[in-house]
Structures are given as structure tokens and as C-alpha cells.
Copies of this chain bind each other. A is one copy, B any other.
Amino acid sequence: MTDAALRRLLDERAINAVLIDYCRLLDVMDLDSLSSLFTADCFVDYGPDPQLQSSGAAALAESLQRMWRWTKTSHHLSNVSITFDGDDCADVQSYVYAWHKRADGTVATILGQYIDRFLRCDDRWLIARRRMLMNGCNENFTVDINRLERNKAPDDWVAPDIDRSRRAHD
């Protein structure tokens, strides 16, 4: 029981490392190394546009060349939530703050989530399926990423008055 708990912690550490490596490798545009974090037959879905979906790690690496549209990026990962499904599978949700700068200096930011299916393959944890969701973005980001569903306010909901004037705020 103690051993099992420790193994889970080590598995979680390994999965977390893959999530972080993805960000780091994307930000330096080392797409070959990045693709090795995915299963050969992975499916990755950033949005409904077929250009935003890839079947297989090789196709993913080629598709992510689109990130060269930006001159700089920074992907900040957080909120990692891991649910094991047997010993060798895990459903993993994480948040990403993804910052992108264009050659003209404009900045496009996306606040998103990765919804991943991880598999253990020969003692390594790999991403078998990734679906990206977008909680929101700033006005400069215009790629059609899958949207997060959010519960709606009841019809009779009335907004409270808690927003002070801007002047009152230092």
C-alpha cells in the first residue's frame, strides 16, 4: 500500500515532466524532441479547423511549424490534475498561459487548458490524445481554438454592485 502510493507519486512526477517538456520544447521550437513526447499514433486537436488537428507524432511536429508565425512564445503550465485509469493510463487536465509575440510587436495571449490522455509505453509516459480548450484570449489572438463550456447565469440573476470606480483604485 505504501509502495503503491509512492509509485503513484512517481508516475505523477513523470507525467508532470512531460507537460513541462512540451512547453519548453515548443518555446525553443525543438519540434523533433517535442514529438517524442507523444505516441506515434497520437491524435491532437487544438480546434475545429483541420489545420489544427494532427494524427500521429510526425504530423504534429510538421503542423506545429506554424508556431514560427510568432517571433517569441512562452507557455506557462499550471493546475495539473491527474486521474489514473488503471496502472498505465491517466486522464490529465492542465492550464496553460500561452504568450505569443509577432514580428510587429503585438502580443497575443491565450488562457487555455490541455485535456490529455496519457499512456505508459515501455516505462515512459506519453501523450496519446490531446485536446486543447480555450478559457479565453486577448483581442490579438484570432486562431479558432476549441472553447471551454461554462455554465450560464440563471435568467433571474442580477449583477451586484461591487465594481468601484477606477479613480478610487490606486
A interface residues, Cβ below 8 angstroms from B: 2-3, 5-6, 9-10, 12-13, 17, 20-21, 23-24, 27-30, 49, 51-52, 65-66, 68-69, 72-81, 93, 95, 97, 99, 101, 105, 107, 111-112, 135-144, 148-153, 157, 159-160, 162-166, 168-169
Contact = CB atoms under 8 A, between A and B. Distances in A.
B101 A150 contact: no
Given A107-B136, A142-B164, 4 more contacts: A9-B9, A52-B162, A68-B159, A76-B79
Contacts of A9: 6, 9-10, 13
B160 A142 contact: no
Given A2-B6, A29-B151, A101-B136, A160 B76 contact: no
Contact of A65 (B79, B157, B166): B157
A28 B149 contact: yes
Given A72-B150, A79-B77, A169-B142, A99 B162 contact: no
A161 to B, nearest CB: 8
Contacts of A65: 153, 157
A76 B98 CA distance: 12
A140 B105 CA distance: 12
Contact of A74 (B66, B135, B139): B135
Contacts of A81: 17, 20-21, 24
Nearest to A93: B24
B159 A27 contact: no
B95 A30 contact: no
